[in-house]
Amino acid sequence: MDGINIRPALLSDLPVLQKFEQGVIQAERPLDPTIKKDPVHYYDLESMILDKDVAVIVAEYEDRIVASGYGMAKRARHYLDHKYYAYLGFMYTDPEFRGRGVNQKILSALKDWAISKDLTEIRLTVYEDNPGALRAYEKFGFKRHIIEMRLT
């Protein structure tokens, strides 16, 4: 989609990003019965924006924030062949802009950020029952790797 600008998030973006966070939670709640009742927050967005080791980015269209995502370095398990990896999260696209390639631009920017930090392994988590997200990530090149299981 032409006209999309990808940039780092600013503190002034917090009201929109907090709405996006609730959109993520609303989308995930039917997929995960273990999410607490409202009010729920996944992220400390202000701290993440201020953290030089975290990349919180947004996609803008005509001065309107339409998508978000973040990347952060995480320590890998001691037995893996890499010490750190890039973990991506907070992937949200305004419903009006879904299916237009905006998420691919966010992913591309986060991949570039990871490469700039010498992070060669990039991971994210997605619910198995979220076929739209699975297709988007696989289209970008992600491969299914581990399935987490739970017993209640």
Q: What is the largest CA-CA distance in the chain?
A: 47
Provide the pLDDT for residue 18: 98
Provide the pLDDT for residue 70: 98
- Residues with Cβ within 8 Å of 95's Cβ and at least 6 positions away in sequence, in order, are none
Provide the pLDDT for residue 2: 86
Q: For every one of its 152 residues, what pLDDT tens digit does the chain have, with 9 covering 90 and above?
A: 789 999 999 999 999 999 999 999 999 999 999 999 999 999 999 999 999 999 999 999 999 999 999 999 999 999 988 899 999 999 999 999 999 999 999 999 999 999 999 999 999 999 999 999 999 999 999 999 998 888 98
- Residues with Cβ within 8 Å of 78's Cβ and at least 6 positions away in sequence, in order, are none
Provide the pLDDT for residue 37: 93
Count of Cβ atoms closer than 10 Å to residue 11 Cβ: 10
User: What pLDDT digit, counting tens, does each position of 92-126 carry?
Assistant: 999 999 999 999 999 999 999 999 999 999 999 99
| 123-131 long-range contacts, CB within 8 A, separation 24+ | 123/85, 123/86, 123/87, 123/88, 124/87, 124/88, 124/89, 124/91, 125/89, 127/28, 127/31, 127/32, 129/31, 130/27, 130/31
Helix then strand then coil, % of the chain, to nearest 5: 35, 25, 40
Judge whether 4 and 59 are in contact, CB under 8 Å: yes
Judge whether 120 and 82 are in contact, CB under 8 Å: yes
Provide the pLDDT for residue 59: 98
**Angle CA 50–54–59, to nearest 5:** 90
One-letter amino acid for residue 70 of the chain: Y
Provide the pLDDT for residue 150: 87
CA-nearest of 53, 59, 27, 61 to 42 is: 27
Provide the pLDDT for residue 98: 94
Judge whether 68 and 59 are in contact, CB under 8 Å: yes
